[in-house]
Structure 1
Amino acid sequence: MGRIPHRYGHYLYGVIQSGITCSIAAAIASFPFIKDGAFLQHWFRSWGVAWLTMLPVVVVAAPLIRRLAERMTSRP
């Protein structure tokens, strides 16, 4: 399998980071559905909506947050 060019690393980071974060948040939000046996169904739907919403936000915000953090910290 070929590797993704480095210049697209920012987008790959956004896909991975938003996927993991939304997965955890959807699991927490779906926890009450365990007793009904609908946890996985609710989790998958919640994760999909959250991920499709957050992916563009993360892709746009990540470079801005990185620059802000660099300005707020000092290098040794």
Structure 2
Amino acid sequence: MTTTRKRGKLPARYAAIVSPLVLSLLMTFIVSFISTLKSLGPQPNLPSVWLTAWGLSWLVAFPTLLLVLPAVRRIVGWLCELPAR
């Protein structure tokens, strides 16, 4: 008999922090890699240089997202109709 363990989820109130956290991690991960690769080209120390750039860019991106996300939501609300409920 196999037992399945239910994965616990964070309460909904954390979505306002988790969403920009995940977005900033993914976006800075991809953009910093492309930028570092374009600047330096392929080379043996690329991973360490890139991870340093990624860490620094994430330190800026996450707090920035927390600050600008409310304004972005308002702008999107002005530009898009809300779905019918």
Q: TM-score with structure 2 length normalisation? A: 0.77
**Unmatched tracts of structure 1, length 5 or more:** none
CA RMSD in angstroms, aligned pairs only? 1.6
Q: Is 1:73 aligned to residue 80 of structure 2?
A: yes
Secondary structure (helix, strand or coil) at the match of 1:22 reads: helix
Specify which structure has the bigger relative contact order, considering alpha-carbon pairs within 8 angstroms and separated by 6 or more residues. 1
In our comparison, the structure showing a higher alpha carbon Rg is 2
| Superposed displacement of residue 26, structure 1 | 0.9
Q: TM-score with structure 1 length normalisation? A: 0.85
The one-letter code matched in structure 2 to 1:8 is Y
In the alignment of these two chains, the number of paired residues is 75
**Unmatched tracts of structure 2, length 5 or more:** 1-6
Q: Which residue of 2 aligns with 1:25?
A: 31
Sequence identity (%): 21
Asked whether the equivalents of residues 19 and 51 of structure 1 are also in contact (C-alpha less than 8 Å), the reply is yes
Higher helix content, 1 or 2: 1
Q: Which residue of 2 aligns with 1:46?
A: 53
